[in-house]
Structure 1
Amino acid sequence: MRLTFAALILTVSAGLASTDRSADMADWESFLSDSKVSVGVGAVVYRDLYKGTDTRGEPVPAITAEFGDVFISGRSFGYTFAKTREMQLDAVFKYRGEPFETYYSDALEGLDRNSTLEGGLAAKFTTGKYVLGISAFADLLSEHQGYYADIYAGRLFRQANLMVLPKLGLNVYDDNYNRYYYGVLEGEAKAGRQEYSPSGSVSPYGSVFAQYSLNEKWSVFGSASIQFADDTVRESPIVGRDYSVSTMMGVSYSF
């Protein structure tokens, strides 16, 4: 199973990008013969930055698959351009769901933020037990019309059937991204919610992912993450917290 599985379980909202099986069945079955597939289910509990929102929990499907150089990982899918023992370069597309429902909080009433599809490049470099990753994504459907980048460093620990991957990283968001998710337009302003236009930001985060193999097929996994908001985000009238947190646990079956 790929470590890209961690990309799913550190996500705080659920949803899957749909795929279209348009290949001839004989070709598809031949394609699957060299594939690696894992399916499972988990439960995520998270608390976001938005003012007045409660801690929420929901089930999350956990699906990863490799078909040659094509892969699916949770809400993401993509193509691996290059892969060696030390380096991997992917083109990635991923679905980003709506950040909130207006009924979550009075502070969000009347705000309209849509889901979108994002695309970008992701590179991972591995040296022994250490991993360095960098990725950059842009909005493909002109919803937030922004971009963001992620850079992280982690260390892999293995002991018998247990794998643990702690990471420290930085997320960099441009002003368009922040204005869409944390800004308030002139027409959205009201008493207690003034117009606000945040600038770009840098947000540090930490996460840990753990997986324990029960046998060759079944595994249990868990994760926890925390991300700290930049000042320009914290000053938004719709933001009420300095950081967001999420935890998740689940079980998966590998074919």
Structure 2
Amino acid sequence: MKKVILGILALSLSSMAIANDKVGVGLGAGVSNSIFKGADDKAYPVPLLDINYGNFYAKGITVGYTFFRGEDLSLSAYLDPMAGFAIEAEDMGAGYRNIDDRDTQAMVGLRADLNTGIAGIRTGATVQFGEHGSEAKISAFKAYPMGEKLVLVPSIHMKGFSGDYADYYFGVTSEEAGRKGNYNLRDEYKADTAFSYGATLTAEYKMSEKLSLIGIVGVEKFSDEITDSPIVNDEPIVLASIGAKYFF
């Protein structure tokens, strides 16, 4: 899913930037299975932006402003212009194609990044708010240099979704369940407060002083409040992405 890919990329790019203390721009492509029933896997172009200008920054498609920067802690406010789990009804499987579209939403948030001082582990925490609810995330990662050219960054994270957020993207209204053509939807479903957790591995291979290849693999598992929805698959989301980034 595009949302999952972009979110993981933003986390991974932050990890790589901290590991290398560099700024870069680039482009990649990502693919994952869909959380929605019957929806095909898709490949997406994804930005590999990691830009800092004074206190302003851009990571992935997220833009923000750092209002506090200490030795081990930084705090920032940011905008995520494409948050959420968007799906068009026509992309669903047979028996689900007359649901309402779920749209992306712009969300504003606060972010904290902390160097724990424990074995090189860094952590991050975000909370963001939008028209269709709120989302929070905590993460931890560590960079492992593998010689002069290769850096590996494993990370783990956990997300929480408000009831409004989960219900907008994964709930089913009585109107949707009763529409002609939605023969796989028998009853309405109201999604409650939910969570997900996952892990990623990011690799950067340094081709030269200014050019690197970035590869990412990850997995995301959602709680029963989401997977019990009749429009949602219960398998974990598995994603992969590869791209190139130019440093300056």
Decide: shared fold, TM above 0.5: yes
Is 2:82 the partner of 1:89?
A: no
| Matching residue of 2:52 | 66
Structure 1 pair 137/61, CA: closer, same or farther in 2 (3 Å)?
same
Structure 1 pair 110/131, CA: closer, same or farther in 2 (3 Å)?
same
8 Å contact 2:87–2:101 — kept in the other structure?
Answer: no
One of 102, 107, 130 as aligned partner of 1:113: 102
- C-alpha root-mean-square deviation of aligned residues, in Å? 2.0
| Matching residue of 1:185 | 173
Report the residue type matching 2:8 in the other structure: L
Q: Tell me the CA shift for residue 149 of structure 1.
A: 0.7
8 Å contact 1:43–1:248 — kept in the other structure?
Answer: yes
One of 128, 145, 149 as aligned partner of 1:137: 128
**Partner Cα distance (1:212, 1:199) in 2:** 42
Q: Tell me the CA shift for residue 73 of structure 1.
A: 1.4
Is 2:33 the partner of 1:47?
A: yes
| Matching residue of 2:145 | 158
**Partner Cα distance (1:166, 1:80) in 2:** 25
Please give the per-residue CA displacement for 1:120-173, whole angstroms capped at 9, x wherever unaligned: 11111112521111111110xx2x1x1111011222211322221111121111
One of 235, 243, 247 as aligned partner of 2:228: 235
1:153-232 mapped onto 2 (5 Å cutoff) = 153-159=140-146, 160-190=148-178, 191-193=183-185, 194-232=187-225
**Partner Cα distance (1:131, 1:152) in 2:** 8
| Matching residue of 2:247 | 254
| Matching residue of 1:101 | 88
**Partner Cα distance (1:11, 1:199) in 2:** 27
**Partner Cα distance (1:213, 1:85) in 2:** 27
8 Å contact 1:10–1:224 — kept in the other structure?
Answer: no
Please give the per-residue CA displacement for 1:10-48, whole angstroms capped at 9, x wherever unaligned: 259xxxxxxxxxxxxxxxxxxxxxxx7522111101112
Is 2:140 the partner of 1:148?
A: no
**3-state SS of paired residue (2:145):** strand
| Matching residue of 1:10 | 8
Please give the per-residue CA displacement for 1:218-253, whole angstroms capped at 9, x wherever unaligned: 010011111111111111010123311211000011
Structure 1 pair 147/108, CA: closer, same or farther in 2 (3 Å)?
farther
Report the residue type matching 1:38 in the other structure: G
**Partner Cα distance (1:151, 1:132) in 2:** 7
Question: How many pairs align?
Answer: 222
- When the two structures are superposed, what TM-score results if normalisation uses the length of structure 1? 0.81
**Partner Cα distance (2:223, 2:97) in 1:** 20
8 Å contact 1:39–1:64 — kept in the other structure?
Answer: yes
Could you tell me which runs of 5 or more consecutive residues in structure 1 were left unpaired when the two chains were aligned: 1-6, 13-35
8 Å contact 1:151–1:170 — kept in the other structure?
Answer: yes
Report the residue type matching 1:123 in the other structure: A
Report the residue type matching 1:166 in the other structure: P
Could you tell me which runs of 5 or more consecutive residues in structure 2 were left unpaired when the two chains were aligned: 11-21
Residue identity (%): 27
**Partner Cα distance (1:178, 1:124) in 2:** 26
Structure 1 pair 199/9, CA: closer, same or farther in 2 (3 Å)?
closer
**Partner Cα distance (2:143, 2:120) in 1:** 5
